[in-house]
Amino acid sequence: MLANLHPYVIAAIGGILIGLASWLLWWGLGRIAGVSSIASEVLTAPTHPDTWRWAFLAGLIVGGCLLGQGLEIPTLPTRPLYLLIPAGLLVGFGTVWGSGCTSGHGVCGLGRLSLRSLVAVGTFMAAGMITVTWMRGAA
Amino acid sequence: MTEALQSSPLRAGRLGLAFSAGLVFAAGLVLSGMTQPLKVLGFLDITAVTKGAFPGLWDPTLAFVMGGAVCVTLLAFAWTQRLAALPVFAYQYHAPSLSQIDLPLVGGAALFGVGWGLAGYCPGPALASALLSVDALIFTGAMLLGMLICKSFLSKKAQIGS
For residue B6, pLDDT over 70 is answered with: no
Please tell me the predicted confidence (pLDDT) of residue A102: 98
- What distance in Å separates the CA atoms of residue B158 and residue A43, rounded to the nearest whole number? 19
Q: Residue A102: is it exposed, middle or buried by C-beta count within 10 angstroms (0-12/13-18/19+)?
A: buried
Please tell me the predicted confidence (pLDDT) of residue B160: 86
Percent of chain A with pLDDT over 90: 92
For residue B1, pLDDT over 60 is answered with: no
Q: What angle do CA A67, A73, A77 make, to 5 degrees?
A: 125
> A–B: how many Cβ contacts below 8 A?
494
Nearest to B33 by CA among B102, B129, B105, B118: B129
- Are B154 and A107 inside 8 Å of each other by CB? no
Number of other CB atoms surrounding residue B149 within 10 Å: 14
pLDDT category of residue B157 using cuts at 50, 70 and 90: confident
Which residues 57-86 of chain A have a CB within 8 Å of chain B?
57-65, 67-69, 71, 73-79, 81, 83-86
- Are B64 and A44 inside 8 Å of each other by CB? no
Q: Are B109 and A127 in contact (CB under 8 A)?
A: yes
Of A97, A110, A113, which to mutate for an interface test with B (greatest number of B Cβ within 10 Å)?
Answer: A97
For residue B4, give how far its alpha carbon lies from the nearest alpha carbon of chain A (Å): 11
Q: Are A98 and B84 in contact (CB under 8 A)?
A: no
- What distance in Å separates the CA atoms of residue B27 and residue A17, rounded to the nearest whole number? 7
Amino acid at B84: A
Left (φ > 0), alpha (ψ -120 to 50) or beta: where does B33 sit? left
Please tell me the predicted confidence (pLDDT) of residue A137: 84
- What distance in Å separates the CA atoms of residue B143 and residue B10, rounded to the nearest whole number? 32
Residue pLDDT, tens place only, A99-136:
999 999 999 999 999 999 999 999 999 999 999 999 98
- What distance in Å separates the CA atoms of residue B95 and residue B112, rounded to the nearest whole number? 23
The domain spans of chain B are 1-95, 100-162
As a whole number, mean pLDDT of residues B1-24 equals 85
Q: Are B66 and A8 in contact (CB under 8 A)?
A: no
Number of other CB atoms surrounding residue B88 within 10 Å: 14
HEC profile of B36-59: CHHHHHHHHCHHHHHCCCCCCCCC
pTM of the complete model: 0.95
Q: Does A46 touch chain B (CB under 8 A)?
A: no
pLDDT category of residue B159 using cuts at 50, 70 and 90: confident
Nearest to A8 by CA among B26, B60, B38, B48: B60
Please tell me the predicted confidence (pLDDT) of residue B3: 59
Q: Does A126 touch chain B (CB under 8 A)?
A: yes
Residue pLDDT, tens place only, A34-93:
999 999 999 999 998 889 999 999 999 999 999 999 999 999 999 999 999 999 999 999
For residue B98, pLDDT over 90 is answered with: yes
